[in-house]
Structure 1
Amino acid sequence: MTRLCYSTNVHPAEDLPGILRQLDGFAAPIRERTGFDRLGLGLWLAAGTAAELAADPALLRQLRGELAARGLAALTLNAFPYGGFHQPVVKHAVYRPDWTEPARARYTADCATVLAGLLPDDADSGSLSTLPLAWRRPWSAAADRAAEEALRRTEETLRTVSARAGRPIRLAVEPEPGCVLDTVADAVRWLAPRVDPEYVGLCLDTCHLAVSFADPDKAVASIERAGLAVVKIQASAALHVDDPADPAARRLLADYAEPRYLHQVRELDASGQVLAADDLPPALDGLPARGPWRVHFHVPLHAAPPGPLRSTTEVLRAAVAAVRDRTVLEVETYTWPVLPGGGTDIVAGIAAELTWAKSELLDERVNP
């Protein structure tokens, strides 16, 4: 059985009172619109809030009760953004602190403690998604060793928290274009010889997977061959354009070039080589535009972007079908506030995404 939820990193709250307001203003109304008896959340907590909750069992129990009272349940935590995810400009700051910095391991440990206290009784495990080590520059052999050691210490924390909780709490490393672990292939090569697969696996973000022009079936098979697991899937779709030289397509793409987040672009050339740009403006200025583009901009799952752009929901469908083991499917369209045009009803939009995901991706296998 796959459990469906949505990621609350779309909301800007960074303290506990703000989280309670977002539950009332967004999550509870979304549950009502979808008609789910219980709505799963991929909860995002800024570092300060995670530390506060981890240090105060009574406060943690209170939050669990607040969730239950609203028909909500924390099924997974998004432990990628450390804080400030809704600042006017985020860009590369989302990758700090990275896995060479002690603050990253502390934040992850706090999130593990919090999730163990929030999981509903019928959840047999929990998962935390995290960044793919760091942005690729600067990176060195010393940084690589430091990240490996930090992950090893985090495994020990996860063992302790899991034993206390009576069910496994696992870390899910999320490959992302431009990072040290850019692709699923990079993540498999790095993780397989270094981690205990009982406690560390992969988060398969299907937007990132699409941007890399990876084959979903082959990507999932490579994870399984390496003895690793897809710990969670982030259900997301990228922008695709067949002809990025088309003036109409370029005008539309320019509307997605907003200042808050990085929107990495990949071009597939005729030889099969994947060309890279770290954001949409440099792609529009510098990529040859002779082959199709995919853009790291999470677009709503249920609604097609304006033509000639389209979304990569076919990659999402294939990835979900390829992952055979029970997992969490987390709808992660965090870009609602920066979509072109503005004025979006986020409650209606996320409810429509969840309804689409339940119908189109999971059918009878879903259990919110």
Structure 2
Amino acid sequence: MKTEFYSANQLTYCSNVHPGESLDAVIDNIQTKFVKVKNARQLSSMHSGLWLANKAAKSLIDEPDKLSLFQQVLKHNGVELTSLNGFPFGDFHQAVVKNKVYLPDWSETSRLDYSKNLAKILALCMPKAQLKGAISTLPFGYASLWNTRKQAKATEQLIELIKYLIELEEKTGKQIQFGIEMEPDCVFEKTSQLVDYFKHDLLPAAAIAGYSKHQVLRYIGCCYDTCHQAVLNEDILISLEQISQLGIEIVKIQISNAVAADIKNTEQIEQLNQLFSDPKFLHQTKITSKASPQESSTALADLSKSELEQFLQQNQNQAFSARIHYHIPINQDSFPYGFISSTQDAIKQCLSFLVNNPDCRPFLEVETYTWLNFIDASIKLDTQLISGLTQELTWLENTLSELKLLK
């Protein structure tokens, strides 16, 4: 989408906030939730970054009648399907997700098959005039479960995906791009890891298989999640520049907000835990001593009250900062306690990169999949959810308008 400005209807949210593995559930979410957000924004149509679990995707591929029905549902409800979330494979709203979200990983055939199915669905369901679509995918797998054998197999399968995407574009005229989404504690968490992989592994392996650098970068890029890189304390502008310098296209930006905290005592740790303790999702936490940030930093696999207290004790009760992989509303910048803040500035830095790089116009998608954790049980769920999603998109519109990126 090489255009200087975004329009309001191009700004959307990821539907992984809505539970539902089956195609029936996806259609119900479109008709009862997506449409309400679209209407609240006074739009006749709105782009969508739908999440289709493997179960829903297989239904669309295996049963042509259902694909035809799905296309009609999209058209009737004003859904312009331009991207998909291909990260969560199965039930993303089961009681406990944690690191199961990284399964199957990219060394498994089922991940490749799922990705091919999503690519075909997107190519067949995009608006006629839309020639390019994007699908986010996981950063290969969870780092602690990774090895060289899996790495080799994942690269082999990614090259097989490139072959499939070339053939798909020849048949449909649609260019479908996959964006590898870096995430804390995964095979690719830092920008340098992703760039090095392209430079030293993927591009050389693809060349041996007969694919040029141009072909690889036409179909495989980066899905940039602002929360994830903020948790890593990366300089967002430098990170985006490093990716772009190699020619890796940023195919989608997931606009997301992380929790930040400056902690001085155990009382604050208790307060943080009360607000953000979560049995369902994984909340990787990066902590750094304020006294000696270079020497005293550590990574926690999940938000853990006991481990935070241990870090405080080991550092002789000196203050430390924490960045927590917990997607909170992108417009949220105030909290019940003054020591807690957000990484909203990372979002603004990411969007400012677009100002100075007019050739970089990725799909923009708000991804706050934890909304159900914030819902007040005494108020109707849909009312709060629709209002919250709408407010996030309004904030994004206003921010883009301030940057003169919205027409």
Structure 1: runs of 5 or more not aligned: none
Matches within 5 A, 1:298-309: 298-306=327-335, 307-308=337-338, 309=340
Q: Please state how far the C-alpha of 1:59 moved relative to its aligned partner.
A: 2.5
Out of 52, 57, 61, the residue aligned to residue 45 of structure 1 is 52
Task: Give the direction of change, closer, same or farther, for the CA distance of 1:108–1:287 in structure 2 (3 Å limit).
Answer: farther
Equivalence for 1:239: 259
Matches within 5 A, 1:22-171: 22-171=29-178
Equivalence for 1:228: 248
CA distance in 1, matches of 2:343, 2:169: 36
Kindly indicate whether the alpha-carbon contact (under 8 Å) linking 2:16 and 2:50 is maintained by their aligned counterparts in 1. Answer: yes
Letter in 2 for 1:43: L
CA distance in 1, matches of 2:110, 2:14: 23
DSSP-derived class of the 1:21 partner: helix
CA distance in 2, matches of 1:256, 1:218: 30
Say whether residues 1:313 and 2:344 are aligned partners. yes
Q: Please state how far the C-alpha of 1:222 moved relative to its aligned partner.
A: 0.4
Task: Give the direction of change, closer, same or farther, for the CA distance of 1:38–1:348 in structure 2 (3 Å limit).
Answer: same
CA distance in 1, matches of 2:264, 2:63: 52
Say whether residues 1:292 and 2:321 are aligned partners. yes
Worse overlay, 278-287 or 19-28: 278-287
Out of 337, 351, 371, the residue aligned to residue 336 of structure 1 is 371
TM-score by length of 2: 0.85
Equivalence for 2:224: 204
CA distance in 1, matches of 2:104, 2:135: 16
Worse overlay, 32-41 or 256-265: 32-41
Worse overlay, 198-207 or 357-366: 357-366
- Identity, % of aligned pairs? 30
CA distance in 2, matches of 1:71, 1:39: 6
Kindly indicate whether the alpha-carbon contact (under 8 Å) linking 2:333 and 2:344 is maintained by their aligned counterparts in 1. Answer: no
Q: Please state how far the C-alpha of 1:224 moved relative to its aligned partner.
A: 1.1
Structure 2: runs of 5 or more not aligned: 204-215, 313-317
Out of 361, 374, 386, the residue aligned to residue 347 of structure 1 is 386
DSSP-derived class of the 1:355 partner: helix
Q: Please state how far the C-alpha of 1:92 moved relative to its aligned partner.
A: 0.8
Deviations along 1:281-310, whole A, 9 cap, x unmatched? 154344347321110000001233413211
Task: Give the direction of change, closer, same or farther, for the CA distance of 1:299–1:305 in structure 2 (3 Å limit).
Answer: farther
Kindly indicate whether the alpha-carbon contact (under 8 Å) linking 1:250 and 1:284 is maintained by their aligned counterparts in 2. Answer: no
Q: Please state how far the C-alpha of 1:355 moved relative to its aligned partner.
A: 1.1
Deviations along 1:83-111, whole A, 9 cap, x unmatched? 11000000011000000111000000000
Equivalence for 2:353: 322
Kindly indicate whether the alpha-carbon contact (under 8 Å) linking 1:61 and 1:118 is maintained by their aligned counterparts in 2. Answer: no
DSSP-derived class of the 2:11 partner: strand
Equivalence for 2:405: 365
Task: Give the direction of change, closer, same or farther, for the CA distance of 1:285–1:341 in structure 2 (3 Å limit).
Answer: farther
Task: Give the direction of change, closer, same or farther, for the CA distance of 1:254–1:190 in structure 2 (3 Å limit).
Answer: farther
CA distance in 1, matches of 2:45, 2:38: 7
Letter in 2 for 1:278: A
CA distance in 2, matches of 1:15, 1:263: 26
Say whether residues 1:279 and 2:302 are aligned partners. yes
Worse overlay, 180-189 or 336-345: 336-345
Letter in 1 for 2:364: L
CA distance in 2, matches of 1:291, 1:260: 26
Q: Please state how far the C-alpha of 1:237 moved relative to its aligned partner.
A: 0.3
Deviations along 1:174-231, whole A, 9 cap, x unmatched? 0000111112221111123414111101110000010000001100010012221111
Q: Please state how far the C-alpha of 1:252 moved relative to its aligned partner.
A: 3.1
Equivalence for 1:254: 274
Task: Give the direction of change, closer, same or farther, for the CA distance of 1:362–1:15 in structure 2 (3 Å limit).
Answer: farther
CA distance in 2, matches of 1:124, 1:290: 51
**Greater radius of gyration (CA):** 2
Kindly indicate whether the alpha-carbon contact (under 8 Å) linking 2:13 and 2:366 is maintained by their aligned counterparts in 1. Answer: yes
Letter in 1 for 2:373: V
Letter in 1 for 2:389: I
CA distance in 2, matches of 1:20, 1:220: 35
CA distance in 2, matches of 1:287, 1:191: 36
Q: CA RMSD in A?
A: 1.9
Q: Please state how far the C-alpha of 1:29 moved relative to its aligned partner.
A: 0.5
Worse overlay, 50-59 or 132-141: 50-59
Kindly indicate whether the alpha-carbon contact (under 8 Å) linking 1:255 and 1:340 is maintained by their aligned counterparts in 2. Answer: no
Q: Please state how far the C-alpha of 1:62 moved relative to its aligned partner.
A: 2.2
Q: Please state how far the C-alpha of 1:341 moved relative to its aligned partner.
A: 5.3
Q: Please state how far the C-alpha of 1:118 moved relative to its aligned partner.
A: 1.5
Task: Give the direction of change, closer, same or farther, for the CA distance of 1:158–1:291 in structure 2 (3 Å limit).
Answer: same
Q: Please state how far the C-alpha of 1:232 moved relative to its aligned partner.
A: 0.5
